[in-house]
Structure 1
Amino acid sequence: MHIGEFAERTGLSSRTLRHYEEIGLIPPTGRTEGGFRVYTESDLRRMLTIRRMKALGYSTTEMGELLELLDVLEGPASRDDKEAARAQLHATLEDSRARREKLALQVERADEFLGILRDRLS
Structure 2
Amino acid sequence: MSGEHMQIGEVAARTELSLRTIRHYEETGLVVPSARSRGGFRLYTEADVARLMVIRRMKPLDFTLDEMRALLEATDRLDSGENLPPDDREDLLDRVRDFERAAQQRVEELRTRLSRAEEFAATLAQRLTGSSRP
Q: TM-score range by the shorter chain?
A: over 0.9
* Number of aligned positions between the proteins: 122
Ranges of 4+ aligned residues in structure 1 off by more than 2 Å = none
Deviation of residue 27 (structure 1)? 2.1
Q: C-alpha offsets along residues 53-104 of structure 1, whole Å, 9 cap, x if unaligned? A: 1121100011001110111211115133221100111122111111110011
- 1:86 and 2:112 equivalent? no
SS at match of 1:34: coil
* Distance (whole Å) between structure 2 residues aligned to residue 34 and residue 89 of structure 1: 38
* Distance (whole Å) between structure 2 residues aligned to residue 89 and residue 46 of structure 1: 15
* Distance (whole Å) between structure 2 residues aligned to residue 7 and residue 27 of structure 1: 14
Q: Which has the higher helix share?
A: 1
Unmatched 5+ residue regions in structure 2? 1-5, 130-134
TM superposition score normalised by structure 1:
0.94
TM superposition score normalised by structure 2:
0.86
* Distance (whole Å) between structure 1 residues aligned to residue 30 and residue 51 of structure 2: 9
Partner of 2:3: none
- 1:8 and 2:13 equivalent? yes
Identical residues among aligned pairs (%): 45
SS at match of 2:75: helix
Partner of 1:55: 60
